[in-house]
Amino acid sequence: MDFFESQERAKRNTSWLVALFFIGVIATVVSVHVLLSLTISKGKLFDPSMFALSVGSVLTVVGVGTAAKFIQMSHGGSAVAQSMGGRQVDPGSSDPDERRILNVVEEMAIASGVRVPPVYIMEDETINAFAAGNSEKDSVIGVTRGCIHALSRDELQGVMAHEFSHIFHRDTRLNMRLVAWLGGIFAISMVGRILIRSQMYSRSPRGKNNGAAIGLGIGVALFLIGIVGYFFGRIIQSAVSRQREFLADASAVQYTRNPEGIAGALEKIARGAGSQLSAPAAAEFSHFFFANGIASFFSTHPPIEERIARIRGTHMMAAGVTALPTIQQAPSADVHQVAAFHDVSATAIRGARRGMGSFNPTDLNIARDVLAGLPATVVDAARNPFSARAVICSLLLSKNGHQRDLQIATIASTDTALASATDVLARSANISPPQRLPVIELCAATLTLLSPAQYEQFRSVLTRLISTDSQVDRLEWTVRVILRSAIEGKGSEPKPGARATAADAALVVSVLAWSGATNETLATRAWRAARGSDASLPTAQIAADLCTLDALDESLRNMCGAPPDSKRKLVDACVACVAADGQTTVDEAELLRAICAAIGAPMPLIAAVA
């Protein structure tokens, strides 16, 4: 399924969820009304004032409960991970277990073009994992200690591929909404429980009197209603969750071409390692997990045996149709080409477009080789917040000696240590163009560890560094966009009230058309190719002097909130534009990836493999 189709479907599922939620609220209102009528109005069912009261009280409680959860969820995946007792794994960790999970996650993120998600670890010996986040940009991945301990690398990769599927298919977003909406319904059950308890305490000293009896009546009523709401909520939770799990399992097999990885992980859970978490919040978030996080009648996951059977079944079908290289067998000759290539073929770009929202074993191998091919000093530096800043600065240094000295001096005026670290790094390590984007991604993941004050300072250094040559080039823009979305978590969120117009799409494509062209004829040719893909674009490209990177920024922000279908059109037009002349520079390909990342459409690695 196309990436954008699955986005559409996730949106539809969310609408269904909202509809179910309203049915749940109505059911609760009716039960409140019936219970109140029976207990207090002595069986008089159609008392309008009683009805108004039921509606009012239920709506207030549900409204406040939902709002509170929405606020909590708006903090993104990290809020969920923290309420589950997760601790963010330090990107520079040297613990072998932690290193392994970080490597697996980094490879997958770089292969698929999503931001490297922060990894949270839960100190629990059972095997489980989850992905959470409102969008790809604030997603996090959580794993239990047992998961990394007990699973082999292949199995871990299978589990992580499953979690990445949840991110690609926007299941994480759906899950966050689910928690928020259900928070409202669960709030009623909470009020019921609190009231019953308070009645227990307040009744004993005063003995039996009329007020207490009525109070207890209300308590019992709310408790029963709470149960109605609770059951209804849990039924929604498990119904939505189960079908998504099968999809994620199937996707994990598709991405890794290795059903034994994920099947092996599930078998280990079934054979006794278990998946039940001790964290108190586990029930609320149970639908986030890789396997059942709680033992309950309302399982959010299908039975493990069934999942294993389906995974192995998919494999057999897949094996009959295509003989795809497995992780171990992928030809590594392709891979070495990547580090050395200069131009990318149009086929490769179109291939990457088709693979959007996924990755495959070849991409994973390339990503692994790109990471392994990075100079050790750069990798080491990228994994520490202090030196990751120096890596970013060194990428932005000019090749012109005088300009470069000026830039170093600019950094030194705020932070001498950073300036000398940048200087040393720039002299000792050479980062080739295709390595730049992965390096920026690695740094971005590490830089989330900066304190707000440190980030502010770094941002002002960057701004000044970028403005020393009084023009913003493509690389500088890419750095700015990626860092902003990774660290501030909003970056290219749509501005409130802003709406994407046809002019926004035209501007984005025009920037690409000009960036790959040396003269107007070539730009026009690229533009025509883009129009061939999206006929709604205007007849001529926007003039080069209007295609500034600031304007691009603005337009991408607007596009960010556009419906998936408009995004699909834009991405296809961009791909057609870049592929038009058959020869694409690494710069162009990276700009394309950055543009896609900015609108939340992860473009997998564009390999120069013919």
Binding residues for another protein, per CB under 8 A?
36, 40-41, 47-50, 52-53, 57, 60-61, 64-65, 68, 71-72, 75, 78-79, 82-83, 87-88, 90, 92-94, 187, 190-191, 194-195, 198, 211, 214-215, 218, 222, 384-387, 415-417, 419-421, 424, 449-454
Q: What's the burial of 331, exposed, middle or buried (CB within 10 Å: 0-12/13-18/19+)?
A: exposed
As measured in angstroms, the least distance from the Cβ of 421 to another protein is 7
Neighbour count for residue 354 (Cβ, 10 Å): 11
Closer CB to another protein, residue 179 or residue 370? 179
Closer CB to another protein, residue 416 or residue 463? 416
Residue 116 has which token pair?
A: 């490297």
As measured in angstroms, the least distance from the Cβ of 245 to another protein is 27
Closer CB to another protein, residue 50 or residue 522? 50
Neighbour count for residue 431 (Cβ, 10 Å): 18
Instruction: Kindly tell me the sign of the dihedral angle through the C-alpha atoms of 337, 339, 343, 345.
Output: positive
Closer CB to another protein, residue 387 or residue 407? 387
Closer CB to another protein, residue 91 or residue 600? 91
Please tell me which residue in 136, 163, 476, 588 is annotated as part of the active site: 163
| Phi–psi pair at 120, nearest 5 degrees | -110, 140
Question: Do the strands 119-122 and 140-144 form a parallel or antiparallel pair, or are they unpaired?
Answer: parallel
Clarify whether 163 is annotated catalytic.
yes
As measured in angstroms, the least distance from the Cβ of 522 to another protein is 46
Q: What gap in Å lies between CA 337 and CA 340, rounded to an integer?
A: 5
In contact, 378 and 391? CB cutoff 8 Å: yes
Helix axes 153-168, 96-112, angle to 10 degrees: 40
CA angle at 36 for the pair 30 and 37, rounded to the nearest 5°: 90
Q: What gap in Å lies between CA 245 and CA 300, rounded to an integer?
A: 9
As measured in angstroms, the least distance from the Cβ of 309 to another protein is 39
Coil, strand or helix at 585 = strand
Closer CB to another protein, residue 50 or residue 544? 50
Residues 6+ apart with CB under 8 A from 467: none
As measured in angstroms, the least distance from the Cβ of 212 to another protein is 10
Report the 3 state secondary structure along 102-165: HHHHHHHHHHHCCCCCCEEEECCCCCCEEEECCCHHHCEEEEEHHHHHHCCHHHHHHHHHHHHH
As measured in angstroms, the least distance from the Cβ of 120 to another protein is 9
Q: What gap in Å lies between CA 595 and CA 349, rounded to an integer?
A: 14
As measured in angstroms, the least distance from the Cβ of 83 to another protein is 6
Closer CB to another protein, residue 202 or residue 329? 202
As measured in angstroms, the least distance from the Cβ of 195 to another protein is 6
Closer CB to another protein, residue 254 or residue 377? 377
In contact, 232 and 186? CB cutoff 8 Å: no
What stretches of 290-391 adopt beta strand conformation (E)? 343-345
Catalytic residues: 163
